[in-house]
Amino acid sequence: MERLENLKVQIGILILAEIVALVMFLLSGMELNNYLVWLLTAIHIVMILWIIYRFESEKESRDIDISRILGNDAKDALDFGQIGIITYNENYCATWVNDVISERGLNLVGKKLSTWIPEVSELFQDDVDMVVGTDENNVYEITRKENAQVLYVRDVSEILRLKTQYMQEAIVVGLLQLDNYMEIQQYEDEEKMALINTNLRQPVLNWAKKYGMFVRRLRSDRFLVVLDERIYTEIVRDRFSILNDIRAAADEIDVSITLSMSYARGTTDYRLLDQMVNDLLELAQSRGGDQVAVKKYGENVKYYGGNSEAKEKRSKVRVRVMAQAVKEAIMEANRVFIVGHKLMDFDCMGAALGVSCLCNAYDAPAYIVSKSGGVELQLQEALKGCMDQLEERHGFLDDEEAARMINERDLVIVVDHNAPNQCGAPLTLAAAEKIMIIDHHRRGEDFIDNPLLVYIESSASSVCELITEFFPYQSNSIYINEEEATLMYTGILVDTNRFKMRTGSRTFEAAAYLRKLGVNAAAAENMLKENFQDFAEQTDIMKYTHVYQGNLLIAAVKEDRIFHRTMMSKAADALLNIKGIEASFVIAYTAEHTVGISSRSKGNVNVQIIMEQMQGGGHFSAAALSREHAKVEDLEKELHEVIDQYKKEQEDILHESDSVK
């Protein structure tokens, strides 16, 4: 027996040997009073006493060794703190345990430690010093002592139980808001509002109460809810089904009302939670509403829902108020600097010209910072024929020049983007103290800091549409010449794919207003015509197209050829014209070691969510991404995985909706 570690086994063997010897004596005819029998019995008793003595000596030796390794004070402290100690041999079998382990009834000596808790083997095989494992009744934290065959064992069952309870009871603060409720309330009669309250507002309250949330109404369309992490986990598991319920109920009574929600969690600082939850609700609504924005302190924002295209929700009153606010900001500024995004397109340039015309109406010096961030090739060609006329009425600067000129009294108006990393004039933006944002893209987490005024309407077709709506509400007359009106009109044409996508009644009203100002429709069409080289490039892209998931098209250009993002967008738009196709994706190199994706949708597939999962962004029906140090093949594989996940989530939502019905 190795090192006498198993007393019971050894004593049992001796007793068995004695019984066998007695039986043999009886069978041989010897009498029990024979002196040999008594001699053997005495020898066995001596051996048993010797084994017990050796065991006690071995135990004492182990205690001395442990005391030498740990020190007497440390050993006493471990005993007082109920820290178990296990020594083991080179075969990872327990050779000794202290009283803390013994008193728990754990019979470990002589056994492989991995048979007790399998995770212990990681301490011997991997480069780890601590593992957590569970036996039948308790959870233990087991630590290996460096340079010694000793394990420390701590029962953490109660700690984990309290930790789990604490995590489940951590506070979560939420805001629920019925989008467009206040605007509809201004125009609908009492009978209609009673119907809205019964079918839309009351179900929101019932849903919150069903999960045990604390609910308080802040105003007619907004509610504060307080819940804990346990309840939050349940509503996430439910996929916030109330969004689908409200959307369906609103369709039944023919009103444009959706539900937006925000939840802030992960901290006990109530002021911080208040700030987070309000910012998140604004973020959800600026992305078009009908979705949930959630943020755990220290982590990125997560979005749920957003499965419908943003509807027209801005009222004429809101447009008039915003037009007045823009006018006052322009008049108070010393100078106005207008900045667009990188590679300005027709919508961006048209919006910048429209804002510059507003400034001219109030004699405010204005400059369009467009000479540094780049201009799309098609727009560049269009500007060649009218740049002389435009330069007579507008000032054009590069980024460095504008950054040197700007001071604290100047105003920067950002058009057609809201993320600082997309800005075509980053130096100007960084130097600005007063910033105004006018955009139609859904707001992301990466947002320009501390803007003076934000006007983001994701339901609008384009920024040119938003700027055009300002013109009728100005106290001074706005002069727009033919070239400026045509460029703004072309911006609407491009962003709506010639009025085929993302259009509402307000879009056509804006186009009609620009037509009155002198739009040359033929010139606009000529600006958008492709030359033969562009047509050939688009054809080259489309030959790589394959069908995916039945109603999607993916064109992954796997050759080392660089394409302009504008060409990729055109190819994606062209692919949507194929019968039965709901969305298209074009993947190609936009620079050396840089891959881009341009995606388009007819409205049934939210390509924004798909692109956001890949760290891109955009609209519900038009989105994109760009990734450096990437390969087309890798992004195509990742796109397949994201689409599969998106489709699965949509099928689950439909299944849940059918189950409710």
pLDDT band of 75, cuts 50, 70, 90? low
Same domain, 380 and 423: yes
Digit-coded pLDDT (tens) for 342-379: 989 999 999 999 999 999 999 999 999 998 888 888 89
pLDDT at 644: 92
Answer whether residue 657 shows pLDDT above 50: no
C-alpha closest to that of 376 among 501, 457, 487, 542: 487
Record the tokens describing residue 261, joined without a space.
Answer: 């929600």
∠ CA 496-566-532 to the nearest 5 degrees? 105
Same domain, 467 and 592: no
Same domain, 478 and 573: no
Last residue of a domain, one of 145, 166, 187: 166
pLDDT at 575: 93
Interval 19-38 mean pLDDT:
60
Inside any domain, residue 310: no
Q: Which regions of 357-402 does DSSP assign to beta strands (E)?
A: 366-369, 395-397
Digit-coded pLDDT (tens) for 596-605: 999 999 878 8
Element (H, E) at 93: none
Last residue of a domain, one of 139, 166, 193: 166
What share of the chain in percent tops pLDDT 90? 43
Record the tokens describing residue 104, joined without a space.
Answer: 């728990």
Separation in Å, CA 559 to CA 541, 563, 588, 589? 10, 11, 8, 9
Same domain, 109 and 139: yes
pLDDT at 289: 82
Same domain, 83 and 64: no
Same domain, 524 and 383: yes
Whole-angstrom Cα distance, residue 137 to residue 6? 26
Inside any domain, residue 624: yes
Same domain, 361 and 268: no
Q: CATH number of the domain at 271, please.
A: 3.30.70.270
Same domain, 322 and 182: no
Same domain, 477 and 596: no
Digit-coded pLDDT (tens) for 179-228: 888 878 877 788 888 999 999 999 999 999 999 999 999 999 999 999 99
Last residue of a domain, one of 140, 166, 192: 166
Same domain, 560 and 655: yes
Pairing between β-strand 214-219 and β-strand 291-296 as defined by DSSP bridges: unpaired
Separation in Å, CA 660 to CA 248, 306, 500, 584, 653? 12, 20, 34, 32, 11
Digit-coded pLDDT (tens) for 255-267: 888 999 999 999 9
The number of domains in the chain is: 5
Answer whether residue 445 shows pLDDT above 80: no
Domain of residue 53: give its range: 1-70
Mean pLDDT of the chain: 84
Please answer whether residues 185 and 200 qualify as being in contact, where contact means their C-beta atoms are separated by less than 8 angstroms.
Answer: no
Highest mean pLDDT of the ranges 54-58, 225-229, 296-300, 453-457: 225-229
pLDDT at 2: 41
Inside any domain, residue 8: yes
Answer whether residue 59 shows pLDDT above 60: no
> Maximum distance among all alpha carbons in the chain?
135
Same domain, 620 and 514: no
Whole-angstrom Cα distance, residue 493 to residue 16? 100
pTM: 0.63
Inside any domain, residue 311: no
Sheet containing strand 291-296, edge to edge, reads 214-219, 222-228, 171-179, 258-265, 291-296, 302-305
Same domain, 353 and 489: yes
